[in-house]
Amino acid sequence: MRYAFPPPPVIALPIAGSEVRFPVRRIFCVGRNYAAHAREMGGDPDREPPFFFTKPRDAVVEDGAEIPYPPLTRALHHEAELVVAIGHGGFAIPEERALEHVFGYAAGIDLTRRDLQRALRAKGRPWDWAKAFDRSAPVGPIRTAKEIGHPSRGRITLAVDGEVRQDQDLADMIWRVPEIVALLSRAVRIAPGDLVFTGTPAGVGPLAPGDRVTARIEGVGSCTIRILAGGEG
C-alpha cells in the first residue's frame, strides 16, 4: 500500500516493567463520577446514568510530558483520573464479565479548558473544544491487571508543585469500573487499545505556565506533566 503522505504514527503508551507498548485506539471519558465534583460543577450528584465524551487518540501524552498552555482558554484545569486500558473488545458486555476486558490501569489527567466548557455548556453546544485539544490526555505508564488486579479503592491525588489539590479515594466513584465498561459497550463496540478516563474527584482547579502537576493513584502509579508558556501550538 502506498499513501499520499506518511500515515499518522501509532500512538502508544509504556507498560510498566515491559518493553511492549500499549497501542491506543480511542479515548472515552466519563463526566461527573464523584459526587463532590458533581456538586462543585453545579450538578446533581444523584446516580444518573454516566455520560461519556471523547478525546482524539493523539491527545495522549506520556508521563514527563511538557505541555504548552493551550489556546482558547484562561482557565486550563487539572482533573486526576483512573484510566482503564481495554485489552479485549466487545459489545453489550455484561457487568459481571466486564473486568475480563480490562488490560490494566494508569493514572491520567483530563486537561480541560474550563472557561470554554462553561461557555459551551451555557449555549447547549458540544464540549469537544473544551476537552479534545492537543496534549489534553496525559496518561502514566499502564500497570497490567495481571500485576495489580482491579483496584476499587485507593487514594487518588493531584498535586501542583507538591501542593495537594485533589485527594479522594477510588471507592468514592459513583459508577464503578465494571459498570462503566458495561454501559460504554452498550453504546459503542469497545476494542483493544481503548482508554477510559473514569472521572475526577473534587478539587479541580487552574494551572499556570511553570506548574509541575502529578496525578497519583495508590496501587496504580502516577503521571507527571509540566505546563509551559503557551503559543507553541
Question: Site residues for Mn ion, window 67-96 (CB under 5 A)?
Answer: 79
Size of interface with Mn ion, in residues (CB under 5 A): 3
Q: Which of 136, 166, 200, 214 binds Mn ion (CB under 5 A)?
A: 200
**Cα–Cα separations (whole angstroms), residue 223 to 37, 61, 108, 193:** 21, 10, 6, 19
Strand partners, 158: 166, 215
Set of cell numbers at residue 24: 491506543
| Shortest separation between residue 3's beta carbon and Mn ion, angstroms | 35
| Shortest separation between residue 79's beta carbon and Mn ion, angstroms | 4
By CB under 5 A, residue 194 contacts Mn ion:
no
Instruction: Specify the stretch interacting with Mn ion by CB under 5 A; choose among 11-19, 54-62, 107-115, 186-194.
Output: 107-115
**Cα–Cα separations (whole angstroms), residue 154 to 4, 57, 169, 204:** 48, 27, 5, 19
By CB under 5 A, residue 196 contacts Mn ion:
no
136 vs 200 by CB, closer to Mn ion: 200
Distance CA 51, CA 56 (A): 17
Contact by Cβ (8 Å): 75, 184? no
Instruction: Specify the stretch interacting with Mn ion by CB under 5 A; choose among 102-110, 119-127, 144-152, 217-225.
Output: 102-110
| Shortest separation between residue 9's beta carbon and Mn ion, angstroms | 26
**Cα–Cα separations (whole angstroms), residue 164 to 47, 74, 145, 216:** 27, 22, 27, 10
Stretch 32-71: interaction string toward Mn ion, x if CB under 5 A: ----------------------------------------
Pick left, alpha or beta for residue 178 (phi over 0 → left; psi -120 to 50 → alpha; otherwise beta).
alpha
Give the nearest residue (CB) to Mn ion. Answer: 110
| Shortest separation between residue 161's beta carbon and Mn ion, angstroms | 21
Strand partners, 107: 82
Instruction: Give the number of other Cβ atoms within 10 Å of residue 58's Cβ.
Output: 14
By CB under 5 A, residue 117 contacts Mn ion:
no
* Chain residues in the site for Mn ion (CB under 5 A): 79, 110, 200
